[in-house]
């Protein structure tokens, strides 16, 4: 309105021929109005309606979380959905969920109406609605029938990885709460303290088929991050199974009673002749296989446990804690597939709950036994600490040393008390069973705080307070101890709140950078790969862990016999990986997403096994998104803080956890605590001057040039002369000359001249006062050697050692941050991110191409351009690899739609409009924004310029158009026209503006 008013006023003023001052003022106001219409946030003072809130400009409508892109195009609200509180459904099968009747009726309403009309319970739709409102008995019959054909999707926010949405067959239940199977809680990260979940109904036939074949909870037993089973008994179930299978020392003296088979054992138990922990021997332990060669010595409980296992997995003769159960589920999945595994986990769930109930495990304050040795351990430690204090006061120890010794002494005391605590519990006591079975979080850790001593606490900055809490929670804390422990608690709570937001933002940036990485072809034909070496420490993983599910790039040979263990392009499975580790193969060249040669996406062989499905990846899989989610999902578990350990001793702060991961992914130019690396190889000299230390690396090489001067030539130099390159050494009648090839010193013996040239290069590095040197005086080093302790700058590594070394460094550093928190995420997920971070090259010399110096170009695209130019006989362009942080890489994508929906919406859109960019719609986001099916999974088209061509099916779901009817086509066309009109309207406004 303002623009129009001011424009009209200006028109009137010009017609009236108003003075220049007034016209100028009006022009300025008009310009201001136009500016704020386009973007109200740019000017100093945002325009607003007479003192009320700011006006919303065209830019504000597009940008930010509430803008058009992120609110309406990337995420939409949908019909046929509902949400409710969740409760546990212990009787459900793994593929079922309990859906409240009233909710189901509302969700499936249209289907119920059509069936009511079809069965003549109602004459028309209106009558059917009335029947439903009255809740006649036939309505429930029809609902039961309708529900059979359609699974529902359950989702719990925050959806951190693809297992946050799964499909279930609904079972109608009374009440208003959704019932959920206890074993899928881990995938949803759900608990029953008031969590809510959303339900969605898939509508089209295609959607129903996808839900059935790809999203059903029984099809998603493995975690895509590391390939470990994610459904597995936890908490009470572990307790029950452990109680069932443990040995009781009270029965140690009893003789073993012989039984024929498992049925007989069970009969004896049900009649009360034996109890769960009675030792027995059993001759036949299988249902369908011949008996083992000699009877098995075991306990009654273990016989009952093995009854639920299939023959192939029997006979497991050990106490089953949480780890053992996880292994069992993983083994079952590998050997027998997902149906058998589903059956197995459901049976273990039932038996676990039953025997947890029968065990009668309870806890009371009196169960927490305080070990008698506690006071003596504390008294002894106090004596040594007092001695350390005395030495400090005499000046024999520095403050740092005293602090470090005190901390060390109290930590040791706490460990000794903890050991005493776990020794004080009888193995059959409830508390010990809870801790040992893996049913409680942290095992004996919390119990040591309850019954031992709480130990040392950290203050808000992360520094450990040298005053320990000597009491435990059973005795109660003194006022001072209570105050000290509040530090830690508050830090914990604030950390958690901040961490969640940070991890969410990290995931969003990761998703944005790799969302267009799709499996596009079977084989890109590359012979390159990355070396997995036994000697490398990548976050403490074993070699076999890093090899499983990889494809070999060059045959692996047995180091002793020379036989080929794996051929090129074959997969390394668990068994082969174990053989490779046993035979001591030192390095294996495996294919990797980082070396894949496809221009867009990556190929099946460079990716290898799809960890979430346990088999080789399908063409069309959206591996980029999976990678981003696998890295982002555990992000919340990474600690936020920077550790301060005793001031100077460790050389300043070390960044760990989430900030360290972010620092690596964002490829910060100046990482915290950066250590220089040597850019050249050579000999180290350490120079000290007025308190500053410098490391000088000298690379010197001596070359000798011999000249034999014939008679008749005149020698122009003397022994010991210094000459420059090109200086004449001798001449023939002043016409011909012999010249020095390099500069240097002359040694002359008669007519024999030797030129000694010293090639010398040196680099100097300043060393901070607190830095600990890693090199010694006179040591010979290679280029890229780290000079002091600290973290390296990946940009330096890229410049000095190249791309592969940078990838290796980034991988091992990120893995250290994750593994230190006990998070196992597979290397290949990180590799996909690094591929995108290192995908660009900066042009240094444009040769005969159309590229400009300084321009960022895709590395593989540059190779194509150069090949064409060289074939035409031109000069190829040269470039140097650059490392982009994930935010930069996401904004540097080929797709302007994807970039603009990420950050800097207006800048990206305006840039695209000015350049007249086109969007090839190869990624996922761009397609979501314009409302097309994503080109991945069952929507994979295979018509891209870099793909192998169309494929028949994805994970057994045939690809092809969904059910089309004329009506639908028409509405689709209408919708497309509408979207196009709206989009061109918005973009048009921006472009004209």
Higher per-residue confidence, 239 vs 426 = 239
Domains located in the chain, CATH noted: 2-56 (no CATH), 365-454 (1.10.132.30), 518-621 (3.90.105.10), 675-789 (no CATH), 837-945+953-992 (1.10.150.390)
* Helix runs in 227-373, H state only: 235-245, 262-270, 300-307, 322-359
* Contact residues for 750 (Cβ-Cβ < 8 A; gap 6+): none
For 645-692, how does the pLDDT look when each residue is reduced to its tens digit (9 = 90+)? Answer: 433 333 445 567 888 898 899 988 888 778 888 888 888 888 888 778
Question: Sorting pLDDT into bands at 50, 70 and 90, what band is 52?
Answer: low
Instruction: Give the sign of the dihedral formed by CA 852, CA 854, CA 857, CA 859.
Output: positive
What CA–CA distance (Å, rounded) separates 141 from 832? 51
> 283-287, 491-495, 858-862 — which is least confidently predicted?
491-495
For residue 942, how many C-alpha atoms fall within 13 Å in the half-sphere facing its CB?
Answer: 16
Question: Burial letters for 621-642: b for 16+ Cβ neighbours within 10 Å, e otherwise?
Answer: bbbbbbbbbbbbbbbbebbbbb
Tell me the whole-structure pTM to 2 decimals.
Answer: 0.84
Nearest to 593 by CA among 772, 927, 826, 258: 826
Contacts of 144 (CB under 8 A, 6+ apart): 172
Structural Rg of the chain based on CA atoms = 36
Q: What is the pLDDT of residue 49?
A: 61
Contact criterion met (CB below 8 Å) for 229 and 328: no
| Beta strands 257-261 and 279-284, pairing class | parallel
- pLDDT, position 981: 47
Percent of the chain with pLDDT over 90: 39
* DSSP string across 623-647: HHHHHHHHHHGGGGGS--PEE--TG
Q: How far, in Å, CA of 334 to CA of 312, rounded?
A: 12
Cβ pair 206, 963 in contact under 8 A = yes
Q: How is 658-678 classified by DSSP, letter by letter?
A: HHHHHHHHTT-SS-TTB--B-
Question: pLDDT digit string (tens) for 340-384?
Answer: 999 999 999 999 999 999 999 899 988 888 998 899 999 999 999
Is the per-residue pLDDT at 835 higher than 50? yes
Name the band, by pLDDT with cuts 50, 70 and 90, for residue 502: confident
Whole-number Å distance between alpha carbons of 552 and 608: 9
Instruction: Tell me the C-alpha distance between 826 and 814, whole Å.
Output: 11
- Rounded CA-CA distance 298/284 in Å is 12
pLDDT band at 963 (very low <50, low <70, confident <90, very high): very low
Provide the 10 A C-beta neighbour count for residue 960.
10
Whether omega before 240 lies within 30 degrees of 0, making that bond cis, reads: no
Token code pair at residue 182: 């206890």
Pairing of strands 856-858, 780-781: unpaired
Task: Round to whole Å and give the CA distance between 32 and 28.
Answer: 6
Kind and range of the H or E element at 155? strand 152-155
Contact between 82 and 199 (Cβ < 8 Å): yes
Alpha helices in 360-457 (DSSP H): 374-394, 399-424, 430-436, 444-451
**First-to-final CA distance of the chain:** 16
What's the average model confidence in pLDDT over 822-847? 91
How far apart (Å, rounded) are the C-alpha atoms in residues 703 and 741?
Answer: 11
Q: Is the torsion defined by CA of 105, 111, 114, 115 positive or negative? A: negative
Judging by DSSP bridges, how do beta strands 556-557 and 564-566 pair with one another? antiparallel
Token pair of 641 as six digits: 């803080």
Within 8 A by CB and 6+ apart from 892, the residues are 840, 856, 884, 899
The dihedral of CA 189, 191, 194, 197: what is its sign? positive
Residue 424 has pLDDT above 70, yes or no: yes
Distance CA(276)–CA(302), nearest Å, equals 8
């Amino acid at each position: 309105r303002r623009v129009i008013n001011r424009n009209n006023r200006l028109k009137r003023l010009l017609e009236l021929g108003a003075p220049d001052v007034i016209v100028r003022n009006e022009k300025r106001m008009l310009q201001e109005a136009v500016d704020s219409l386009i973007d109200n946030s740019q000017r100093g003072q945002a325009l607003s309606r007479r003192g009320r809130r700011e006006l919303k400009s065209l830019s504000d409508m597009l940008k930010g979380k509430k803008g058009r892109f992120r609110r309406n195009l990337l995420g939409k609200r949908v019909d046929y959905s509902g949400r409710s509180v969740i409760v546990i459904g212990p009787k459900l099968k793994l593929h079922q969920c309990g859906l409240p009747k009233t909710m189901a009726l509302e969700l499936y309403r249209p289907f119920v109406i059509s069936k009511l009309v079809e069965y003549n319970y109602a004459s028309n739709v209106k009558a059917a609605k009335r029947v439903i409102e009255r809740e006649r008995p036939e309505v429930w019959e029809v609902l039961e029938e309708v529900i059979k054909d359609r699974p529902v999707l359950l989702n719990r926010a925050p959806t951190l990885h693809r297992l946050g949405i799964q499909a279930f067959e609904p079972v109608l239940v009374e009440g208003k709460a959704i019932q959920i199977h206890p074993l899928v809680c881990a995938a949803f990260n759900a608990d029953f303290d008031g969590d809510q979940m959303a339900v969605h109904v898939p509508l089209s036939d295609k959607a129903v088929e996808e839900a059935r074949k790809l999203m059903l909870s029984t099809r998603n037993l493995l975690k895509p991050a590391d390939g470990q089973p994610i459904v597995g008994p936890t908490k009470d179930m572990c307790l029950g199974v452990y109680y069932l299978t443990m040995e009781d020392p009270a029965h140690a003296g009893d003789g073993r009673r012989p039984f024929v088979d498992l049925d007989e054992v069970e009969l004896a138990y049900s009649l009360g002749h034996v109890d769960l922990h009675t030792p027995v021997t059993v001759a036949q332990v299988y249902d369908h296989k011949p008996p083992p060669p000699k009877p098995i010595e075991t306990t009654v409980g273990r016989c009952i446990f093995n009854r639920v296992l299939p023959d192939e997995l029997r006979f497991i003769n050990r106490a089953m804690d949480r780890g053992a159960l996880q292994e069992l589920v993983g083994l079952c999945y590998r050997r027998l597939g997902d149906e058998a595994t589903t059956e197995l986990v459901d049976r273990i769930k039932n038996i676990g709950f039953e025997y947890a109930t029968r065990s009668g495990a309870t806890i009371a304050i009196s169960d927490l036994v305080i070990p008698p040795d506690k006071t003596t351990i504390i008294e002894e430690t106090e004596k040594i600490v007092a001695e350390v204090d005395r030495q400090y006061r005499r000046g024999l120890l520095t403050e740092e040393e005293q602090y470090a010794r005190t901390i060390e002494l109290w930590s040791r005391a706490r460990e000794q008390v903890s050991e005493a605590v776990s020794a004080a519990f009888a193995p059959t006591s409830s508390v010990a069973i809870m801790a040992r079975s893996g049913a409680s979080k942290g095992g004996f850790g919390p119990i040591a705080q309850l019954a031992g001593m709480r130990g040392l606490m950290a203050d808000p900055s992360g520094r450990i307070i040298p005053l320990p809490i000597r009491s435990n929670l059973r005795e109660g804390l003194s006022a001072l101890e209570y105050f000290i422990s509040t530090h830690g608690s508050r830090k914990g709570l604030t950390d958690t709140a901040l961490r969640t937001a940070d991890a969410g933002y990290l995931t969003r940036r990761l998703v944005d950078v790799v969302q267009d990485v799709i499996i596009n072809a079977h084989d890109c034909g590359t012979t390159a790969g990355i070396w997995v070496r036994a000697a490398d420490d990548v976050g403490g993983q074993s070699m076999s862990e890093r090899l499983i599910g990889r494809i070999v790039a060059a045959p692996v040979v047995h180091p002793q016999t020379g036989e080929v263990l794996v051929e090129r392009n074959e997969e390394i499975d668990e068994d082969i990986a174990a053989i490779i580790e046993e035979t001591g193969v030192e390095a294996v060249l495996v294919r990797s997403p980082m070396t894949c040669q496809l221009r867009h996406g990556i190929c099946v062989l460079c990716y290898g096994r799809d960890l979430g499905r346990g088999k080789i990846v399908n063409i069309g899989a959206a591996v980029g998104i999976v990678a981003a989610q696998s890295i982002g999902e555990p992000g919340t578990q990474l600690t936020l803080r920077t550790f301060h350990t005793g001031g100077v001793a460790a050389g300043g702060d070390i960044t760990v956890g989430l900030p360290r991961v972010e620092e690596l992914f964002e490829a910060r130019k100046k990482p915290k605590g950066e250590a220089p690396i040597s850019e050249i190889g050579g000999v180290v000299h350490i120079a000290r001057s007025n308190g500053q230390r410098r490391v000088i690396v000298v690379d010197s090489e001596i070359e000798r040039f011999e000249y034999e001067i014939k008679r008749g030539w005149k020698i122009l130099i003397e022994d010991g002369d210094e000459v420059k390159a090109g200086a004449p050494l001798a001449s023939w009648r002043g016409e011909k000359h012999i010249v020095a090839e390099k500069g240097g010193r002359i040694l002359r013996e008669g007519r024999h001249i030797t030129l000694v040239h010293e090639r010398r290069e040196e680099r100097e590095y300043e060393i901070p006062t607190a830095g600990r040197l890693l090199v010694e005086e006179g040591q010979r080093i290679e280029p890229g050697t780290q000079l002091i302790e600290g973290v390296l700058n990946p940009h330096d590594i890229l410049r000095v050692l190249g791309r592969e070394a940078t990838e290796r460094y980034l991988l091992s550093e990120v893995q250290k941050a994750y593994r230190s928190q006990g998070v196992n995420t597979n290397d290949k997920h990180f590799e996909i991110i690094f591929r995108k971070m290192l995908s660009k090259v900066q042009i240094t010399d444009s040769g005969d191409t159309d590229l400009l110096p300084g321009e960022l170009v895709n590395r593989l695209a540059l190779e194509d351009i150069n090949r064409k130019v060289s074939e035409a006989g031109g000069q190829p362009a040269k470039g140097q690899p650059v490392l982009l942080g994930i935010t930069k890489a996401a904004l540097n994508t080929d797709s302007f739609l994807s970039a603009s929906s990420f950050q800097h919406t207006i800048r990206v859109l305006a840039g695209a409009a000015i350049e007249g960019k086109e969007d090839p719609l190869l990624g996922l986001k761009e397609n979501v924004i314009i409302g097309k099916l994503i080109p991945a999974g069952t929507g994979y088209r295979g018509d891209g310029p870099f793909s192998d061509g169309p494929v028949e099916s994805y994970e057994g779901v045939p690809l092809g158009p969904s059910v089309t009817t004329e009506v639908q086509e028409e509405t689709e066309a209408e919708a497309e026209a509408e979207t196009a009109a709206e989009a061109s309207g918005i973009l048009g406004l921006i472009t004209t503006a």
